[in-house]
Amino acid sequence: MNLKIRRLIAMYIDFHIVFFATYIFIGMFESLFYKNILVDIIFGLAFGTIFINLLLRKDMIFGYESIGKKIMKLKIYDENGMRIKNRKELIDRIYYSLFSYEFPFYPYIILINNRSRGDRIVKTVVK
């Protein structure tokens, strides 16, 4: 399978795992409270906070690769071909990809040149 397609599938898997893990976690506590607008706002903010934090740290949960990358057999390397094991670089890589003007076009950018904005800034390559 093409590297770019495997990378997009890995991203899709990771996004859904993080979303449903956050949804289940918040859902366990939300059912304990009486439903009103204040509770909905608080849990909405909590959901967003937990979701973003898990998404930023998804590459560090299982040995410097996310679950999607493990399934699709992808690894993150620096430009010299060494495996990335620095947690700050892994978080920065996702941060610059997620919070950039390119994020809505992420699948197209990956399909065109296989490097997101975070990859270019942190100087990483996914193979």
Backbone Cα Rg of the chain: 16
Size of the chain, expressed as the number of residues it contains: 127
Rounded to 5°, the CA angle 121-124-127 comes to: 145
DSSP run (H or E) holding 126: strand 124-126
Model confidence at 1: pLDDT above 80? no
If one counts the domains in the chain, the total is: 1
Q: What is the pLDDT of residues 4-16, one digit of tens each?
A: 999 999 999 999 9
Confidence class for position 64, pLDDT limits 50, 70, 90: confident
**43 phi/psi in degrees, rounded to 5:** -70, -30
Model confidence at 52: pLDDT above 80? yes
**59 phi/psi in degrees, rounded to 5:** -80, -5
Q: pTM of the full predicted structure?
A: 0.89
CA distances from 81 to 62, 100, 125 (A): 21, 26, 8
Angle between the 37-56 and 87-98 helix axes, to the nearest 10 degrees? 120
Q: Which pLDDT score, from 0 to 100, does residue 90 have?
A: 93
In angstroms, the CA 60 to CA 109 distance is: 24
